Amino acid sequence: MLLLLLVSTGGKAQTIQKTTVYFDFDKAELTPETTHKLDSIAKFINKYIAKVIKIEIAGHTDSMGMNDYNDRLSNLRANAVNDYLLAKKIPDTLIKKVDAFGKRMPVSNNHDSVERSKNRRVEISTYFVKNNAAKTTPQPKTDLKDGYIPHKTFNPKLEDLDKIPDIDSGTTIVIPNLIFVGGSHELVSSSTTALVKIYKLMKENPNLKIELQGHVCCHYDGMGPDGYDVETRTNNLSENRAKAVYDYLIKNGIERKRLAYRGFGGMHKLVEEITEDDRARNRRVEIRILEK
């Protein structure tokens, strides 16, 4: 997971790039997925090294075990990441802090193995000097090799989904109120209303065919085409999120021939990512109307 935050320190605006890598249970060794992600992070940092102010590394564990043990384990994880970045030519003078927090700062509940896996992590925060250029909202491109078609409607309200049968084929529409757990294709419980709305729409319009299109936030140069899914340990998070909606519709009786799904990674953002609300808008699944 990667987040971009904007802060101001001593009158100077900074962008904080926050990236998370994950570890196996009770392990501090870097996995192939982790080293692949760290390679991308190092490449990105080295590319913009002149703008880097400092780097901070923080290790964490799940809730299993005693505090003393988890403190040592999180320290080993943080130092494993630190050593790897140093080996990738990141100057040690830029790494200002390597912290270990054990199990004290979970980002997810520890009720099951999936939730615990999200807490076995190291967070890398890279502080950059922010450009003075004014914030702009990227405009959709019209000639894209991956087949993505820009929107005619960006963020309709939930009740506006009833109007989809009246919208032209080829239009792509954001599904409102559809929220996923960070780094996962798991839908939060509040998304049920949106899912039911889509199901009723398909049920009441038997000729309607749609493609579900998944997107992730926080993509940056060198990161790879898609996000990492902590549940499947694969780099196809946007596709998995689209498939989660697809699977719900299939399970509830919508014919497969009326549905398709695909993932576009993080290449097609609605807005520049400065705040958490920005990132939430870019973490989305859309409906493209294929036939009516």
Q: What is the pTM of this model?
A: 0.54
pLDDT at 82 over 90: yes
- pLDDT tens track for 143-185: 344 566 655 544 566 777 777 777 777 778 888 888 887 778 8
- pLDDT tens track for 25-35: 999 999 988 89
- For 8, the 3-state DSSP assignment is strand
Domains identified in the chain and CATH numbers: 2-129 (3.30.1330.60), 158-291 (3.30.1330.60)
Contact 59, 122 (CB under 8 A): yes
Residues of the chain by 3-state class (helix, strand, coil), percent to 5 = 35, 25, 45
For residue 24, give every residue at least 6 positions away whose Cβ sits within 8 Å of its Cβ, in sequence order, or none.
Answer: 31, 120
